[in-house]
Chain A
Amino acid sequence: MIGQAGPTTGRTLLYVPGSSFIHRINPLTKLVGLAWLAASIFMLPPTGMAVITAIAFLFGVAAGAGRTFVKRFVLTLLPLAVALFVIHGMLIERDDMVDHGLISLSPAGLEYMFGIFMRVAALLTVSLLFVTTTHPAVLLKALDSHGIPPGVAYLISSPLLLLEPFSARARAIRDAQQARGLDLTGSWTARAKAFPALLIPLVTLALSDLDQRASVLDGRAFRARRFRTVLDAPPDHPWETWARRLLLVAIPVEFGAMLWL
């Protein structure tokens, strides 16, 4: 079934198959949740962000995606934390710098760093939660059944599906060019020349069957009607409709509260 491990999971997508609570929530609800967070990160205090991060992380682990989360944390958050610490904690001149021997630290700078870091962490964790528990096919069906234009859905599904075949083609072109003497490890100019030598054949090949693909789509009445019949759309429960409405309403309410307080 869609949602189970396939050739694209683990390699192309960040999606982790599973049947946890989060997995089973309708993708639209999750999307609105993510949108709510994206809007709220500029309005909630850092401690609130920390709480959200922790909760999302726990849900992520419960959904079976712990390894993905940790990997992304290390790859994205760690360098961010280090760079933020250096730039804001140490380097930027602020009024309250305290000398600790070799380096001077600024508590205000550190507080600023913490704020930024927590914001990014919260956004990353919640996005990861969304992405690891929502297979794009299910997301697109949810959107499709709610009236997203088929053209937009196509622009999301087609690249995801073509990613693996295209990467394979890119590798084949690289191997063929190397067999013909292309140098990938030489001087700067050699490598700079190698880049177009790899890219241009790939793009030309990719575009060569554009007419065919377009004709196939038209031949199957693509976008002939405004709405399609969608089979097996993910289930949507009444509580989710209310949750979405609540989250969407919360955004201007928070905004108002922030201005007022």
Chain B
Amino acid sequence: MRFDTRTLVLMAIAIVINVVVGQIAVWVKLPLYVDAVGTVLVAILAGPIAGAVTGVLTNLIWGLVSDPTAAAFFPVSLVIGLVAGIMARLGWFKTIAKTVVSGIVIGIISTIVAIPIVVYMFGGVTGAGTDFATAYLVAVGQELIQSVAIANLATNLVDKILTCLIAWIIASRMPSRFTSGFPFYQRAGA
């Protein structure tokens, strides 16, 4: 009852977008996930809690349809939605420049949240290309945690900045007839 029906439908659609975007990334063969576009979009339109729930359920659905271990990263998605919503409320999604800053903030915070999961659950390994960077850093003498952090931070930053920009573009192109139904977005301004 907390969310009205329109917000629920938005969240459901955003979850599907999150999952489908992974396919698009494969077509374009970019080493990015950009799997939080829906989460950030919901956060901009409907606030941090809605964004966080969208993120968590995306991981859950991902676990049901593809890889159950991906569900272990739900805290990361939760944090992305939460931080994006807070940044939106503080007005940091009003211009391109501010959106880039939001992307940086989200990238840093999400990496910080991801690291304990990667290190303690998965022994520092993500199963993605960043493992090579991690291995290299460990080989030249870095501690495991630092290696994981550095290896993942760069990709994460680019990924999240791109994610925030795309979400911002979509939100600003929505007709006001659509966004007027989302009071949170009005408050943040366009």
Are A159's CB and B5's CB within 8 A? no
Known contacts A86-B135, A91-B138, A159-B15: A223-B5 contact under CB 8 Å: yes
Contact with B along A181-196 (1 / 0, CB 8 A): 0001100000110111
Q: How far is the CA of A102 from the CA of B125 in the complex (A)?
A: 23
Q: Does A167 contact B (CB under 8 A)?
A: yes
Distance of B32 from chain A, by nearest CB (Å): 8
Q: How far is the CA of A203 from the CA of B170 in the complex (A)?
A: 8
Distance of B159 from chain A, by nearest CB (Å): 12
B53 proximity list for chain A (CB < 8 A): 155
Q: Does A92 contact B (CB under 8 A)?
A: yes
Are A151's CB and B8's CB within 8 A? yes
Are B63's CB and A127's CB within 8 A? yes
Partner of B24, one of A80, A154, A199: A199
A184 proximity list for chain B (CB < 8 A): 27-29
B104 proximity list for chain A (CB < 8 A): none
Distance of B97 from chain A, by nearest CB (Å): 18
Binds B, one of A111-119, A227-235, A236-244, A249-257: A111-119
A124 proximity list for chain B (CB < 8 A): 68-69
Known contacts A155-B15, A213-B9, A223-B5: A160-B64 contact under CB 8 Å: yes
Are B34's CB and A195's CB within 8 A? yes
Q: How far is the CA of A12 from the CA of B60 in the complex (A)?
A: 14
Q: Does B79 contact A (CB under 8 A)?
A: no
Q: How many residues of A contact B (CB 8 A)?
A: 65
Known contacts A136-B64, A155-B11, A200-B169: A223-B1 contact under CB 8 Å: yes
Partner of B19, one of A87, A93, A149, A163: A163
Q: How many residues of B contact A (CB 8 A)?
A: 61
Q: How far is the CA of A113 from the CA of B23 in the complex (A)?
A: 32
Are B174's CB and A195's CB within 8 A? no
Q: Does A13 contact B (CB under 8 A)?
A: yes
Are B123's CB and A87's CB within 8 A? yes
Partner of A151, one of B3, B30, B131: B3
Distance of A238 from chain B, by nearest CB (Å): 28
Secondary structure at the A interface, as helix, strand, loop or mixed, is helix
Q: Does B6 contact A (CB under 8 A)?
A: yes
Q: How far is the CA of A162 from the CA of B2 in the complex (A)?
A: 23
A170 proximity list for chain B (CB < 8 A): 20, 23-24
B101 proximity list for chain A (CB < 8 A): none
Q: How far is the CA of A151 from the CA of B125 in the complex (A)?
A: 36
Q: How far is the CA of A185 from the CA of B30 in the complex (A)?
A: 10
Q: Does A84 contact B (CB under 8 A)?
A: yes
B15 proximity list for chain A (CB < 8 A): 155, 159
Residue of B nearest to A115 (CB): B123
Distance of B15 from chain A, by nearest CB (Å): 4
Are A202's CB and B166's CB within 8 A? no
B67 proximity list for chain A (CB < 8 A): 72, 75-76
Report 5 cross-chain contacts, Cβ distance below 8 Å, ordered by A residue: A87-B125, A91-B135, A91-B138, A116-B123, A159-B16
